[in-house]
């Protein structure tokens, strides 16, 4: 088998020139050789390439004249329908369904063509699949449905359409108990969140398996206007703790979302010095542990206490030292030098291991 000739055939298929594909096959005698040939590490066939690139005329030629199976799959169990759906090629999707492709075929991790289509926000393809009886309630190995994926991508038209054709599709949780509301809040899809709050019956402060609410997802990713929407339209709690007792004010310190910190403390009057359940870490402890220098300064502007200790007697300076965050330690020392001279400071020095952070203490 002429591998170079086959590679050229792949290139011609991707380029979409049907006449060149036919001529090359005939000249090199590749009609039979190419029918079930899988290429490269992915194991794609020519029909995968044609479907992925949207060349419906080549797709028809390969299926009708070359005789390639419409359900041929690659090494990830992707069918041509997955490829066409994921790239938003409606004509290819329609043709493959017409030729008997299974509308809910599964690729690796149990993704359906409808799920793939929802990653592209292509309403025409999504409509085509659903009109051919695609099941919007199917879930992949992580427990995500097509509706979860649509809410993550954030196209309001797609979300509304899915709710119209399957009104109960929102009643779905992933294997970690995350709802579509969690997903859209985390990704900042404010229009979608507004639709979900208006049309679906989500319980305020639904928690995933880690105890995280949609409000927490919004603020810890910096989506403040979306967090306001959840407060106003869904009565979300600004202090709902996760299973470790970590509250939103702590979460935003971990992720360094300073606008969200100001929102929680100044607008919602959340106590900046409250400790999380367990070790009683404050927001300042968390920011120092992560090495967020700018966040440390913002917290101090908001009234954070440098000298608050956790249950083990550690200050934020200890957290910066444990994390080997030299600039964070330097900032804390500059703002509270007395800590460097007492027992707490000695303990923090002992936690410093890397040369750059040891130098910080040596300069005091």
For residue 112, pLDDT over 80 is answered with yes
Q: Check residue 355 and give its pLDDT.
A: 58
Q: Check residue 10 and give its pLDDT.
A: 95
In a domain, 54, yes or no: no
Number of domains in the chain: 1
Range of the domain at 286: 216-364
Q: Check residue 339 and give its pLDDT.
A: 47
pTM for the whole structure: 0.89
- CB neighbours of residue 42 within 10 Å: 12
Of 90 and 358, the one with more pLDDT: 90
Q: Check residue 354 and give its pLDDT.
A: 55
Residue-wise pLDDT tens digits, 170-226? 999 999 999 999 999 999 999 999 999 999 999 999 999 999 999 999 999 999 999
Instruction: Report the C-alpha gap between 198 and 192 in whole angstroms.
Output: 10
Q: What is the mean pLDDT of the chain?
A: 92
Confidence of residue 340 (pLDDT cuts 50, 70, 90): very low
User: pLDDT > 70: what percent of the chain?
Assistant: 92
Q: Check residue 33 and give its pLDDT.
A: 86
Q: Check residue 346 and give its pLDDT.
A: 53
Q: Do 93 and 113 meet the contact criterion of CB atoms below 8 Å apart?
A: yes
In a domain, 126, yes or no: no
**Largest Cα span, the chain:** 86
In a domain, 299, yes or no: yes
Q: Check residue 181 and give its pLDDT.
A: 98
Q: Check residue 349 and give its pLDDT.
A: 53
Output the domain CATH number for residue 252.
1.25.40.20
Q: Check residue 3 and give its pLDDT.
A: 85
For residue 111, pLDDT over 50 is answered with yes
Confidence of residue 297 (pLDDT cuts 50, 70, 90): very high
In a domain, 135, yes or no: no
Residue-wise pLDDT tens digits, 27-82? 989 988 899 899 999 999 999 999 999 999 999 999 999 999 999 999 999 999 99
In a domain, 69, yes or no: no
Instruction: Report the C-alpha gap between 50 and 181 in whole angstroms.
Output: 36
Q: Check residue 278 and give its pLDDT.
A: 86
In a domain, 296, yes or no: yes
In a domain, 238, yes or no: yes
Across the range 306-335, mean pLDDT stands at 91
In a domain, 226, yes or no: yes
Q: Check residue 265 and give its pLDDT.
A: 98
């Amino acid at each position: 088998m002429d591998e170079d000739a086959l590679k050229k055939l792949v290139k011609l298929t991707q380029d979409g020139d049907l006449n060149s594909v036919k001529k090359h096959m005939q000249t090199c005698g590749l009609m039979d050789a190419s029918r079930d040939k899988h290429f490269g590490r992915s194991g794609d066939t020519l029909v995968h390439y044609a479907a992925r690139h949207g060349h419906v005329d080549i797709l028809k030629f390969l299926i009708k004249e070359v005789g390639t199976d419409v359900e041929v799959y690659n090494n990830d169990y992707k069918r041509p329908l997955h490829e066409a759906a994921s790239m938003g090629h409606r004509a290819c999707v329609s043709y493959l369904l017409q030729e008997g492709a299974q509308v809910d075929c599964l690729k690796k991790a149990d993704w359906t063509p409808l799920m793939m289509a929802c990653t592209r926000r292509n309403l025409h393809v999504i409509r085509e699949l659903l009109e051919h009886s695609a099941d919007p309630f199917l879930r992949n190995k992580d427990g995500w449905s097509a509706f979860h994926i649509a809410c993550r991508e954030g196209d309001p038209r797609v979300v509304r359409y899915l709710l119209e054709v399957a009104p109960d599709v929102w009643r779905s949780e992933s294997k970690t108990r995350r709802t579509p509301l969690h997903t859209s809040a985390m990704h900042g899809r404010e229009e979608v969140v507004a639709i979900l709050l208006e049309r679906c019956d989500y319980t305020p402060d639904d928690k995933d398996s880690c105890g995280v609410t949609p409000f927490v997802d919004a603020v810890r990713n910096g989506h403040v206007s979306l967090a306001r929407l959840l407060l106003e339209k869904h009565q979300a709690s600004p202090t709902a703790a996760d299973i470790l007792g970590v509250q939103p004010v702590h979460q935003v310190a971990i992720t360094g979302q300073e606008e969200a910190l100001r929102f929680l403390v100044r607008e919602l009057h959340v106590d900046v010095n409250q400790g999380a359940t367990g070790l009683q870490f404050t927001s300042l402890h968390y920011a120092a542990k992560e090495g967020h220098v700018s966040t440390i300064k913002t917290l101090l502007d908001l009234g954070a206490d440098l000298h608050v200790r956790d249950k083990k007697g550690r200050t934020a300076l200890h957290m910066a030292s444990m994390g080997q965050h030299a600039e964070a330690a330097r900032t804390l020392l500059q703002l509270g030098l007395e800590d460097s001279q007492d027992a707490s400071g000695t303990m923090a020095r002992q936690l410093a291991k890397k040369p750059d952070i040891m130098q910080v203490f040596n300069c005091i």
